[in-house]
Chains A and B, each alone.
Chain A
Amino acid sequence: MGVVLGNIIAIYRRELQSYFASPLAYAIAGIFWLLSGFFFLVLLVGPQGYIQLAAIADLQGQQQGIPVPPIDVADIFLREFLGLIGSLALFILPILSMGLYAEERKRGTLELLATSPVTNWAVAVGKLLGVLTFFTTLVLPLLVYELITLSAASPPVPPAIPLLGHLGLILLAAAVLSLGMFISSLTSSTILAAILTFALILFLWVIDAIAKTVGGGVGEALGHLSLLKHYSNLTRGIFDTSSLILFASYIVLGIFLTAQSIDALRFQRS
């Protein structure tokens, strides 16, 4: 067991180290932080932002003398913001996962991994943990300025709600990255891996809508597979075990398929 853990750590450290040396990682971090900061400002204090909207609603209520229903700005803002970040992640995650195995195949380093005393799934787990750590690093600064903003809300927002939302975001990312890792293990073209992963998660994102048109038992079953539905539940602060299980299943499935596909690769390779 200690050996396996040592192997996972070795792979994990190499993955993390490669992000420091990769211009792609810096570009992605820059774009992610720029866009998320932009969304944050626009949603919160922009001309169409929620503070402005609430203020206008208040003003109209006062002028017309009708009491308006109170708006929970903090809650709506958080939900909308995390929804936007989720959509942004949709574009960023395939780029993060595309090279996980495709690069190894292209460089021939897969031959090193496959002939070292390491199991395929230990490699997959190490890689997934590495890329997930990178994504978590991208998300952490957002959490900091959200908490600062939310601390000014009255009534106060319990910190568990944004934390749960971010946990959801990271679980979502883990699920997508795990499936993306599997797709990356199928090809030595990073671009192809990115496109296929994007198509797959787009499908899993909107499967809810497809499920509604199908209807019936099949529709319901499909609906449960939706990433968006479970993610938005978590961002609302709804802690549902079924969401956790769904994300965990995607993660395990991705790791399992990756290990299998690397094994299969060794059998068919010419």
Chain B
Amino acid sequence: MIEVEHLSKSYGANPAIQDITFSVEPGEIVGFLGPNGAGKTTTMRILAGYLPATTGTAKIAGYEVHQNSLAVRQRIGYLPETPPLYPDMTVEGFLYFVARLKGVAAGDRSVRVGAAIERCNLQEKRYVLIRKLSKGFRQRVGIAQAIVHDPPAIILDEPTVGLDPRQIIEVRNLIKSLAGSHTIILSTHILPEVSMTCSRVTIINRGKVVAIDTPDNLEASLVGAGYELEIDSDAAAAQQVLQLLPGVRLVESIPSLDAGTLTNRACLRVISEPGAEPGRDIVTVLVGMGVGVYEMRRTRATLEDVFLKLTTEEKLDAALPSESESIVSGEAD
């Protein structure tokens, strides 16, 4: 549905994106993830036909976005970074205007506008001036204008930015409900958004693609899972033994949580090789050594770790996996 090949764009001498290649299958939701200034908006604008690429091609539904601009524009819905709204229009009036602009036939307009209003939960604001709407409602009107003509492809540039947590969940559900019948590409720098809504992720940094995979695969393969242990022995000795086990990549000592009260305890973190499950062997070896195990906890890398690693160019071995349960709601810049 969306095919991007070797896309590059420079502003003067500054390259914004370099050699970006990815594709989106029909009905898929693909997340476009990157820190601020990574080139997300530039890519979105090129896909929407707003900017021309310096080199490379981008095709939507088989049409090249620049050469066949008008054909592409009929087939996309686009929500720019700031929702393009006319403050002096009512929600309904604005959606009628957009429907007319996008070439929705006169007979279908009221049905399409009604459907978009319902989908975005705007019924109560239907006749309200956009000027009087809160940020969250404006964002929803922005999404409504992107889907009002029922386009096969939808491009959303940071659809949840500036919303409160409840609104974010609503918008995510809305986006998920659009999948299947629409192909969606959305950019974001909020990590949970990607793991919750997208079937695949493209991570970009400084204008280059650094990873393309499903959120699960990225979490599993790139950093590797691991364990955290609390034992009643000398950390260094256990570390040496565990290091030799198959499937263990790295063992390191971490500060004990209650080091002040229980001085004879030590905490270790074991990072396993991708796909390996050395947990059973670890316990066997420790018990064989006569070391008491007070706690053993499995840890998984979150998408945030993957993201940070890929975008900060740290050495792989220095990565610290954290708990899979942790809910990351902050924004990683």
Residues of A at the B interface (CB closer than 8 Å) are 3, 6-7, 9-11, 13-14, 17-18, 21-22, 107-119, 266-267, 269-270
Contact = CB atoms under 8 A, between A and B. Distances in A.
Contacts of A21: 88-89, 129
Chain A at the B interface: mostly helix, strand, loop or mixed?
Answer: helix
7 contacts: A10-B97, A17-B93, A18-B88, A110-B84, A112-B84, A115-B73, A115-B76
A6 B100 contact: yes
A108 B145 CA distance: 14
Count chain A CB atoms within 10 A of each CB in B11, B51, B84, B87 and give the residue with the most.
B84
Contacts of B98: 112, 116
Count chain B CB atoms within 10 A of each CB in A7, A13, A108, A114 and give the residue with the most.
A114
Contacts of A267: 51-52
Given A9-B100, A117-B103, 11 more contacts: A10-B100, A17-B93, A21-B89, A22-B88, A108-B82, A110-B84, A112-B145, A117-B74, A119-B70, A267-B52, A270-B11
A110 B98 CA distance: 13
A117 B102 contact: yes
Interface in B83-112: 83-89, 93, 97-98, 100-103
Contacts of A6: 100, 103
A117 B87 CA distance: 22
Interface string B55-91: 0000000000000001001101010111111111100
Contacts of A269: 51
B48 interface: yes
Contacts of A108: 80-84
Nearest to A114: B50
Contacts of A11: 101
Contacts of B39: none
Given A10-B97, A107-B84, A115 B103 contact: no
Contacts of A18: 86, 88-89
A107 B94 CA distance: 14
Contacts of A107: 84-87
A11 B102 CA distance: 12
Contacts of A110: 84
B49 interface: yes
Interface residues of B, number: 31
Nearest to A110: B84
Interface in B17-67: 45, 48-52
Interface of B: 11, 45, 48-52, 70, 73-74, 76, 78, 80-89, 93, 97-98, 100-103, 129, 145
A185 B73 CA distance: 22
A116 B101 contact: yes
B194 to A, nearest CB: 24
B84 A111 contact: yes
Contacts of A266: 50-52
Closest 6 CB pairs of A and B: A112-B84, A21-B88, A10-B100, A109-B84, A117-B73, A270-B11
A21 B97 CA distance: 16
B97 A14 contact: yes
B65 to A, nearest CB: 10
B103 A14 contact: no
Nearest to B12: A270
A109 B86 contact: yes
Count chain B CB atoms within 10 A of each CB in A3, A11, A112, A114 and give the residue with the most.
A112
Contacts of B93: 17
Given A17-B93, A115-B48, A7 B101 contact: yes
Contacts of A112: 78, 80, 84, 98, 101, 145
A23 B174 CA distance: 37
Given A7-B101, A108-B80, A116 B85 contact: no
Nearest to B105: A6
A109 B52 contact: no
Contacts of B51: 266-267, 269
Contacts of B86: 14, 18, 107, 109
A119 B71 CA distance: 12
A9 B101 CA distance: 9
B80 A111 contact: yes
A120 B129 CA distance: 27
B162 to A, nearest CB: 14
Contacts of B82: 108
Contacts of B85: 107, 109
Nearest to B142: A112
Nearest to A122: B101
Nearest to B70: A117
Contacts of B52: 266-267
A165 to B, nearest CB: 34
